[in-house]
Structures are given as C-alpha cells and as structure tokens.
Structure 1
Amino acid sequence: MLEAIGQFGRSLKGPSPYEMSGSFLQKRKEKVMDGFKEHKESWELTGCSIMTDAWTDRKGRGVMNLVVHSAHGVLFLDSVECSGDRKDGKYIFELVDRYIEEIGEQHVVQVVTDNASVNTTAASLLTAKRPSIFWNGYAAHCLDLMLEDIGKLGPVEETIANARQVTVFLYAHTRVLDLMRKFLNRDLVRSGVTRFATAYLNLKSLLDNKKRVSKTI
C-alpha cells in the first residue's frame, strides 16, 4: 500500500477525518465482525475454552485479559482494568460467568486459568452454577510450581543460588560483561522474577558456556 502511495506522488489526497471515523471505520468493523463468524461457527461445532490471564503493568494497574480458544484459533474477547476492584474469587467468577453467558454455556467446554487461590475459589463457584463446565489450570503454571518446589531442595537451592551469584557478578561489572560477550558472542539466560523455570535455563546456559565463562572470570 505504501509503495502504491509513493508511486502516485504528492498529489494523492488522503481520506478526511470524517471518512476515517465514519464510513472507513464502519467498513473495517464489519470486516472484523465477519471474521468472528467463523470462530463462532467453530464454537458451536466443537466447543471452546475461555482463557484468562491477570497481570500488572508498569504503572501498577491490574489488567485481566480474556481470550477464547477453539479449533479455529484464538479470539481476543476483552481486556478489563481491575485496579480499583477487589480481585477475589467472586470477582473472577462473575467476570468469567458474564462471558460464558455471552458465548453460550452449551458452547463452553472449560475455563483455563493459573492456579492462584482466588481462581480455585472462582472454580468452586462456577462448578456450583455450571457443573457441565470444567475449570483447569495452565499446564505451564503447574510445571513452574513443580520446578519451584524442586528448587527448594537443599542441593538444588544451593546450586541455583551460586549460579545466580555468578550471573549477577558478570552483569554488574561493565568491563567483565563486555569481556564475557566477546568470549561468548551472546548473552547468558538470566533468572526471571516470576517464572521459576528461568532458574534452570540459567543453569543450562552457564553449563553450556562453562569454559568460556571461566576464561572471563
């Protein structure tokens, strides 16, 4: 499109603000809504899963995203800012239940969330109202919790702590970091704050680059 505009030249007149906010916007909306039809047909044929994910942005605002997954693909439902709300089990249940009602209970197979305690409470409330719908936890979150428990074992905890100290040392000193990057031609995988699996990725990264890291230190 940009190439075609360039070939036309400076005399090309763009759409007016009225057209952009009126007819053009309406046409675009209709195109998006047409795309929903195939998703909804898939929901009716094979069912769907509602997936939620809550997070906090850099400004400290709480946000919950809701998407629908089906055989046709993933469809974004809504993003709800919940900074001023008490995010307990009842709140999450009512939010999810509202979208189940909108989609149609007969089309929803399961709700998938992380394994936080508030979601467990919400699951109990949903089961009481809609026993035909399952409430399951993310497999990735389950595995992350398992790795976190393994990381609390004595020898494992000590090894992870030592690896973290080495990594922190390397990245805390500019000259050492520059030297490391020259030897490795890459960065190490560093432990994350929220995903415990990154601690093991950090260990593997150090092991794979053990000889080169030793030369740096």
Structure 2
Amino acid sequence: MEKVVEEAELRVKMAQLRDVPLPTSNTSSQGGSSSGLGVGSNWCGTTSSDPKKRKANPIEKAFNNNLREQLDGEIARMFYTSGLSFQFARNPHYVNAFRIACSKTLSGYHPPGYNMLRTTLLQKEKNNIKECLQPMKRAWQNKGVSVCSDGWSDAQRRPLINIMAVCESGPMFLKAINCEGECKDKFFMANLLIESIREIGPQNVVQVVTDNAPLCKAAGHIVEAKFKHIFWTPCVVHTLNLALKNICSPVLRHPEVYEQCSWISTISSDAWFIKNFIMNHNMRLSMYNDHCKLKLLFVAETRFASTIVMLKRFKQVKQGLEQMVISEQ
C-alpha cells in the first residue's frame, strides 16, 4: 500500500505545472547564460550566480528596465497559457487596469481572485448594467417595444432560444433559454414569449417578431389570442431569404418560376462543385492561393442569400484573375 501511495504521489507531482523561467533580457544576460533555463536561473530567467553579470547603468536603473521586461513577460505568458486572443490587448479596460495598478498610490495591490471575479464583482457589474439600461426601459412606456426571438446553437451544439426587446431607443438582450431535452413545440415557444411579455409588461409590448417557421407562426397566433393588442410579425430578413432561396433553387411544382430561374440553379451547382473541388484538395487550394488573394467564402446554406454571396465572390475572383493575366501580357 505504501508503494502504491508513493507511485500516486509521484504521478501527481509529475503532472503539476512547472515554473518555467521567463526569457532572458538582452541587457541582463550579457556575459552569462544565453538560455536562462539552467539550474542557477531564478524566476525571471536571469542567472543569479554569474560573477560576470554586467552592472546596470544609471538610466536603466532609473527607468526599471529589468522590472518592466519581467512585467511584460508575465503579461505575455498570461495570454499564451490561457489562450487569450491578442485582440484583448486592445481593450481599453485592459490598459486602464494596468495603468491604475502601476500607480504609486496602489503599491502592494493584488488582483482579484477566482472567487471574487465570479461572485462579488460579477454581481456588482450586473447591477451596474441594469442601472445603465434603466433609461432605455423607461422609453418602453412611451414608444412601445417589440419582442424578438430566434433560435441558434452555441459552440457545444446546445439549442438556445434568445429573447430581445427592440424599441426606438435601441435593442436590449433579455435572456437566452437552453432548450436541451425540451420538446420545442408551439406551446413551449408561446410560453417563452408570454413569460417575456409579462416581464416587460403587456401594456408596453406592441408586437412579437419571429421567423416564418410553422412552429413560430403557430406560437405567434397563440400570443395574439392571449393578448388582443399584440400581433405577430414575420421576420423580414427571413422572408427575403426564403424568396431568394426559391429563386436560386426553383422547384418543378411552380413551372413558371422554374422556367425563368432554372439557369441560376445550374450555375449555382457548378460554382459549388468548383468551390468544393478547390477547398477539399490541398494542392489545388495552394495553387489557388498563389494566384488569387481573395478567399473563397464558405457560406452556410441557412444564412441570408448564401448562393448570391457565393456567386458574387466567384465573379470578383474571375475579374481579379483576368486583370492579372492582362497585366502579365
């Protein structure tokens, strides 16, 4: 049993994260170790026992260049080890936080921990956002509000339904409901809309906006029967998307439309075949990238005007290649 315990403790010890020293700065590593990863290295990657270490000049000492490089290395490693996007460095709150923390009046400051970020500070920020949204909510009584709802999936493929309130003062996100394991019928959808209407106030709601799916249409009729002054409105973008889809992919049951628009379906299928042929073969994709700077857009079929967007990009690619051939000639 002691042997098993020792093996388990050894596995735990080996699985722990190691304290890798920071990169050695050019000014502090002259005459010393070039890697900064030796046995005599300290936490910042400089050699602590090197007798040939160059003394810092007065200017470097005045501006704390070594300490600045250590801080830059720690911040950079925070980004790398946590997988943070480099775009986060452009966040003004990120810059202001370090500027205030580095002021002389906050010497010895420690950043908030895990529990404080997820409890106290989160609740404080939530209350602040609610206070900032109060002027927009007060406008609902005078201008009225539209309740908009749509379904989507997150990165974990969980089905979500969001509820938004839109008025003249601007849109406001209310909530997102996880519908995993639920039967999404017209009654379930109608109950979500009715609950949101009651939270906003039925007297402030003018209409309910959803897409044109039969389920949403039936739920809208239930809401209209519940509240006589509220009417259901189909989404204009979804309506246009369905119209363009019928034009780009006509069916035989509408012979007049099929006769006039069948050529679009033929061109679209040829374009999809070319795109898939290029994107699914590495050699062809490499040849395409060498001769054209425009990327082939991968637009999902459920998105707005996906076929038209794809054909427009193919036309731009063709024009670019033609201009390149003319310039070479």
Q: 1:170 aligns with which of 268, 278, 296?
A: 278
Instruction: Answer 1 or 2: higher relative contact order, Cα 8 Å, separation at least 6.
Output: 1
More deviation, 136-145/185-194: 185-194
Deviation at 1:30, TM superposition (A): 2.9
C-alpha distance in 1 between matches for 2:122 and 2:144: 31
C-alpha distance in 2 between matches for 1:131 and 1:6: 60
Deviation at 1:126, TM superposition (A): 1.1
| 2:139 aligned counterpart, secondary structure | helix
Map 1:37-186 onto structure 2 (within 5 A).
37-153=134-250, 154-186=262-294
CA separation of 1:108/1:147 partners in 2, compared to 1, >3 Å: closer, same or farther? same
CA separation of 1:200/1:21 partners in 2, compared to 1, >3 Å: closer, same or farther? closer
Listed one character per residue, the Cα deviations across residues 17-40 of structure 1 (whole Å, up to 9, x for unaligned) are 776566644543331221221121
Listed one character per residue, the Cα deviations across residues 29-63 of structure 1 (whole Å, up to 9, x for unaligned) are 33122122112111111011111111233434211
Task: Give the residue type in structure 2 aligned to 1:3.
Answer: R
More strand as a share of residues: 1
Deviation at 1:95, TM superposition (A): 0.7
| 1:162 aligned counterpart, secondary structure | helix
Deviation at 1:168, TM superposition (A): 0.8
Q: 1:207 aligns with which of 306, 315, 319?
A: 315
CA separation of 1:185/1:26 partners in 2, compared to 1, >3 Å: closer, same or farther? closer
More deviation, 7-16/164-173: 7-16
| 1:141 aligned counterpart, secondary structure | helix
- Structure 2 partner of 1:2: 98
| 1:77 aligned counterpart, secondary structure | strand
Structure 1 alignment gaps of length 5 or more: none
C-alpha distance in 2 between matches for 1:18 and 1:83: 28
Q: Is the 8 A contact 1:51 1:111 kept in 2?
A: yes
| 1:209 aligned counterpart, secondary structure | helix
C-alpha distance in 1 between matches for 2:315 and 2:117: 56
RMSD of equivalent CA atoms: 2.5
C-alpha distance in 2 between matches for 1:195 and 1:33: 33
> TM-score, with normalisation over the residues of structure 2?
0.60
| 2:172 aligned counterpart, secondary structure | strand
More deviation, 206-215/170-179: 206-215
Task: Give the residue type in structure 2 aligned to 1:56.
Answer: S
More deviation, 79-88/194-203: 194-203
Q: Is the 8 A contact 2:147 2:208 kept in 1?
A: yes
Listed one character per residue, the Cα deviations across residues 46-98 of structure 1 (whole Å, up to 9, x for unaligned) are 01111111123343421111111112211111110011111111111111001
| 2:183 aligned counterpart, secondary structure | coil
C-alpha distance in 1 between matches for 2:286 and 2:119: 54
C-alpha distance in 1 between matches for 2:184 and 2:247: 29
